[in-house]
């Protein structure tokens, strides 16, 4: 069965400026690669209503984003920028994420949201780390509203998903597993951070053998799902953990993401998996990692 890949044209118009690593070329490379895969069905989603942001974020945060949009863009933090198209890109990305949720919920169908800007650093009231709103947690809340109460979020971006953790750590029905480089920006994600017993952080140094990263993340997933069966799985699918990425020091290759995805499917058969694009800053390599992930979902 083909994997539904949702995106929106506006996602390629968000631009943080010359030289910024989170560039439109990332998404263009991903969509070009997936268009060549018979296993992928590319679908244009309708933009989301801005009110969906309030299922996760504060009114003050939505107001700040609205004001930046009305002003034609602006600098939200040292790394995070909105241009004249960023508002539409954000809503297009959320529309793709929510369409992927609906597709996954409707049956045992895996789906992928090929979107930008990414989301896992955005907290309830703050945009940061290239992220405006938290796509993964908004997806989790939509799954819960549809009756899929127990949600597993697996974040294998090389940077810790600090926003995701902060948003879900009081909720025992969401479990968050994160493999990330440490010490590294944003300097969060210690193994001792456990939330209400639902946080499983796997901080690791750069330069290890790739099989070590795979094994350590998998052990954490096994621990998180021991005697606990999720109703849905969300993968914060960052591919900046691949060897050669300028913003990380991990050594993973596309085949390792395929292995992890296949293991998820085998361990939790019948549980829908939704991927949402996070980091990865060499467009060609990002496209290779994403293609491996989508092929494994199929």
- Torsion over CA: 96, 28, 179, 128 (sign): negative
Is 65:132 a contact under the CB 8 Å cutoff? yes
Is 92:47 a contact under the CB 8 Å cutoff? yes
Give the separation between CA 10 and CA 271, rounded to whole angstroms: 30
Is 287:29 a contact under the CB 8 Å cutoff? yes
3-class SS shares of the chain: helix, strand, coil, % to 5:
40, 20, 40
Give the separation between CA 198 and CA 170, rounded to whole angstroms: 8
Q: Which of 14, 85, 110, 121 is catalytic?
A: 121
Q: Is omega for the bond preceding 113 within 30 degrees of 0, making it cis?
A: no
DSSP-H helix ranges across 50-107: 59-70, 86-105
Active site residue 120: no
Give the separation between CA 99 and CA 153, rounded to whole angstroms: 18
Residue 231: left (phi > 0), alpha (psi -120 to 50), or beta? Answer: alpha
Catalytic amino acids?
A: 121
């Amino acid at each position: 069965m083909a994997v539904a890949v949702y995106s929106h044209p506006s996602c390629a118009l968000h631009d943080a400026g010359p030289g910024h690593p989170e560039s439109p070329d990332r998404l263009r490379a991903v969509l070009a690669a997936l268009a060549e895969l018979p296993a992928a069905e590319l679908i244009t989603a309708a933009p989301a209503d801005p009110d969906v942001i309030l299922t996760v974020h504060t009114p003050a945060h939505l107001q700040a984003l609205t004001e930046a949009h009305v002003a034609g863009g602006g600098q939200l933090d040292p790394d995070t920028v909105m241009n004249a198209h960023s508002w539409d890109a954000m809503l297009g990305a959320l529309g793709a994420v929510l369409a992927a949720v609906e597709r996954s919920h409707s049956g045992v169908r895996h789906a992928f949201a090929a979107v930008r800007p990414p989301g896992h650093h955005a907290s309830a009231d703050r945009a940061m780390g290239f992220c405006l709103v938290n796509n993964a947690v908004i997806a989790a809340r939509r799954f819960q509203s549809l009756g899929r109460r127990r949600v597993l979020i697996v974040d294998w971006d090389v940077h810790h998903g600090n926003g995701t953790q902060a948003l879900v750590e009081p909720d025992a029905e969401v479990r968050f597993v994160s493999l990330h480089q440490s010490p590294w920006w944003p300097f969060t994600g210690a193994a001792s951070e456990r939330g209400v017993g639902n946080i499983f952080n796997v901080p690791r140094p750069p330069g290890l053998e790739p099989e070590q990263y795979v094994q350590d993340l998998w052990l954490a997933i096994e621990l998180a799902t021991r005697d606990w069966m999720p109703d849905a799985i969300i993968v914060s699918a960052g591919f900046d953990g691949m060897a050669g990425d300028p913003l990380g020091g991990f050594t993973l290759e596309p085949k390792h993401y395929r292995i992890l995805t296949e293991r998820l499917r085998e361990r939790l058969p019948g549980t829908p998996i939704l991927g949402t694009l996070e980091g990865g800053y060499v467009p060609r390599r990002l496209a290779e990692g994403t293609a491996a992930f989508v092929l494994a979902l199929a």
